[in-house]
């Protein structure tokens, strides 16, 4: 079973306490954006087979959104961090690189 540590309450929560929210760090495009940007914000997803940055909500806990790095091919969890982060923390990226030497990076 998937376990993620909520960065707010520090609880190691199992999947039944959490709600997945899809790809993290999407740039939000609004009314003035081009059709391409708006489409990609709404629908285009990286959907990698490997390292994925994603949103989760501690639905049956503190109720807050947070972010997680996880491998979609092995289900290994690399770490979690607060939803306010514009980018994954450096520490986490270093840890992922150590485990996945060939990894291209998150952007």
Find which of Zn ion, other proteins, none residue 35 binds, CB within 5 to 8 Å per kind: other proteins
Distance from C-alpha of 27 to C-alpha of 62, rounded to nearest angstrom: 26
Enumerate residues 6+ apart whose C-beta is below 8 A from 9: 58, 61, 62
What is the DSSP-derived secondary structure letter of residue 61?
A: T
- Tell the smallest beta-carbon distance from residue 42 to other proteins (Å): 7
Q: Which stretch binds Zn ion (CB under 5 A): 9-17, 34-42, 81-89, 92-100?
A: 9-17
Residue 85 near other proteins by CB under 8 A: no
| Residue whose CB is less far from Zn ion, 8 or 38 | 8
Q: What b/e string do you get for 34-60 counting C-beta neighbours within 10 Å, with b at 16 or more? A: eeeeeeeeeeeeeeeeebbbbbbbbbe
Residue of 9, 11, 12, 46 that binds other proteins (CB under 8 A): 46
Give me the residues that bind Zn ion (CB under 5 A), please. 6, 8-9, 58, 61-62
């Amino acid at each position: 079973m998937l376990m993620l540590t909520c960065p707010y309450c520090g609880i190691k929560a199992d999947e039944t306490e959490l709600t997945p929210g899809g790809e993290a760090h999407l740039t939000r495009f609004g009314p003035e954006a081009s059709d391409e940007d708006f489409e990609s914000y709404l629908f285009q997803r990286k959907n990698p087979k490997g390292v994925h940055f994603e949103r989760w909500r501690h639905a049956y806990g503190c109720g807050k959104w947070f972010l997680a790095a996880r491998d979609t091919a092995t289900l290994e969890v690399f770490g979690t961090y607060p939803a306010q982060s514009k980018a994954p923390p450096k520490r986490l990226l270093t840890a992922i690189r150590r485990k996945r030497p060939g990894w291209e990076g998150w952007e």
